[in-house]
Structure 1
């Protein structure tokens, strides 16, 4: 399922970075929550696919 906004896509990419241990979870509360609730594969899909309009 593609992201529905540019902000959602950005948040998913930050969450993927957190899931991979590249970014601190204190950087964004929303992204940290997303990183915990979604798998790395789902987050990667959100980051790779274009924004759905």
Structure 2
């Protein structure tokens, strides 16, 4: 399931980076900190992939 907004996509990308060990988990904030614990690496990949073009910044 791809992200519905740019913010979701960015958070998933940050969480994926921490999950893979490229970024320290202590640097994560907000939704990305929750995502890294609650989602698998495959789920994060699916959420973060795709183009941001045409997506809203935030979704209500």
Same structural fold, with TM-score higher than 0.5 when normalized by the shorter chain: yes
Tell me the equivalent position of 1:48: 49
Q: Which runs of 5+ in 2 are unaligned?
A: 56-60
How big is the alpha-carbon RMSD for the aligned residues of Structure 1 and Structure 2?
1.7
1:3 and 1:50 in contact (8 A); partners too: no
Tell me the equivalent position of 2:58: none
Q: Which runs of 5+ in 1 are unaligned?
A: none
- TM-score, with length taken from structure 1: 0.83
Tell me the equivalent position of 1:32: 33
2: CA distance between counterparts of 1:34 and 1:14? 9
Give the number of the structure whose alpha-carbon radius of gyration is greater.
2
Q: Which runs of 4+ in 1 moved over 3 A?
A: 50-53
- TM-score, with length taken from structure 2: 0.74
Higher helix share goes to which structure? 1
